[in-house]
Amino acid sequence: MAKVQNWKQEAPANFYACCTAALREGNESPESFRKCWSRRLSPLYWRVPIFLWAVVIISWSTVYFWGPREKFLLYMTHWGLILIFLESLFGIIVVINKSPEKLSESKGMPWVVKTYWVLYNITVPVAFLITLFYWAILRAPGKKMNYAPNPILDIMLHGVNSGLMFIELVFSRHPSRLLHIMQPLYFALAYLLFTVAYYIAGGLDPWGNAFIYPVIDWSKPLQTLVVVTLTALFLALMHIITVVVAAARDFIIRKTLTDKSGEYNDGFEA
């Protein structure tokens, strides 16, 4: 009953924080972002390989891009790839920065930890969405356009990306919160506004079409708005799934580990 009362009292503040995409800090400490749930593992074991993977795939996809290099950043896939690069980079910085002055709880959450957390909140569900959107819509049977002529690079960009972010999600110790749902949605909105601006400016894709993706064609606004709305709903679903996986991770840890310090299973709390 007390929890319900607290939820009602905090609802306006939580709603405002959610709408503004503000970080909702709770009982976690900066230390939780630089540790794995297993004391025997350091996040460097997976964040460094993910960072190196991102560097290699960015270089590879840039060199073998199927169109003019200046059009490389037209695609959400490449935005997501840069997100993985930044997320893993800041994740590494958080781990190796052991200065007690900079990771002191008394001084609040350091900016580098906050930056990493926001990148994490955006990158994980966006990676899942890119994989789903690509294989279910863009590469569905009967589609003629080939967005990744190299089949290995195709898998790296639209399959391995989600696998690596799933590893980050499962092995990390810090929380994923439902109230952070607007962070990936606002990122997607930024990309959407970019596509609108590109269309208005008369931009073309590498094949000379007046759209970036055929399903997001602003010359057909009603059809495009339906696709955009459904995509936003799927992205929200990807965030919810991320929170569920994090909560399940913490639940299993609480039930199996004898050392129960550092539990942050509050992703659904208000």
Tokens 């799927």 sit on residue:
234
Residue 105's pLDDT is 46
CA distances from 137 to 142, 183, 214, 216 (A): 10, 24, 10, 11
The phi and psi torsions of 238 (rounded to 5 degrees) equal -65, -35
Q: What are 117-169's pLDDT values in tens digits?
A: 999 999 999 999 999 999 888 876 655 556 666 889 989 999 999 999 999 99
- Residue 262 binned pLDDT confidence (cut-offs 50, 70, 90): very low
pLDDT of residue 143: 57
Nearest partner of 80 among 19, 143, 198, 165, judged by Cα: 165
Mean pLDDT of the chain: 86
pLDDT of residue 224: 96
The more confident residue out of 149 and 243 is: 243
Contact 134, 77 (CB under 8 A): yes
Give strand pairing partners of 213.
216
pLDDT top residue among 68 and 58: 58
Say whether pLDDT at 110 is over 50. yes
Q: In this model, does residue 106 exceed pLDDT 70?
A: no
- List Cα–Cα distances, 24 to 16, 28, 44, 49, 124, in angstroms: 11, 10, 25, 29, 18
Which of 1-10, 167-176, 227-236, 240-249 is least confident? 1-10
Q: State mean pLDDT over 166-179.
A: 94
Res 5: pLDDT? 55
Question: Mean pLDDT highest for which of 21-25, 90-94, 108-112, 141-145?
Answer: 90-94
Asked whether 75 and 206 are in contact (CB, 8 A), the reply is no
Specify the pLDDT at position 259.
Answer: 54
Q: What are phi and psi of 72, to 5 degrees?
A: -60, -40
List all residues 6 or more positions away from 139 whose beta carbon is below 8 Å from its beta carbon. 147, 158
**In this prediction, what percent of the chain has a pLDDT beyond 70?**
81
**For residue 218, is pLDDT > 80?**
yes
Give the other-Cβ count within 10 Å of 92's Cβ: 18
At 229 the pLDDT is 96
Question: Which of 234, 97, 242, 93 has its CA nearest to residue 165?
Answer: 242
pTM as predicted = 0.89
Q: pLDDT: is 218 or 144 the higher one? A: 218
Q: Rounded distance, CA 251 to CA 244, Å?
A: 10
Give pLDDT, residue 266.
55
The pLDDT of residue 141: 61
User: What's the gap between Cα 133 and its chain centre?
Assistant: 14
pLDDT value at residue 101: 46
pLDDT bucket at 188, cuts 50 / 70 / 90: very high
Three-class SS of the chain: CHHHHHHHHHHHHHHHHHHCCCCCCCCCCHHHHHCECCCCCCCHHHHHHHHHHHHHHHHHHHHCCCCCHHHHHHCHHHHHHHHHHHHHHHHHHHHHCCCCCCCCHHHCCCHHHHHHHHHHHHHHHHHHHHHHHHHHHHCCCCCCCCCCCCHHHHHHHHHHHHHHHHHHHHHECCCCCHHHCHHHHHHHHHHHHHHHHHHHCCCCCCCCCCCCECCECCCCHHHHHHHHHHHHHHHHHHHHHHHHHHHHHHHHHHHHCCCCCCCCCCCCCC
Q: Quick one: average pLDDT of 55-72?
A: 91
- Report whether 116 contacts 94 (CB < 8 A): yes
Q: Quickly state the pLDDT bin for 19 (edges 50, 70, 90).
A: confident
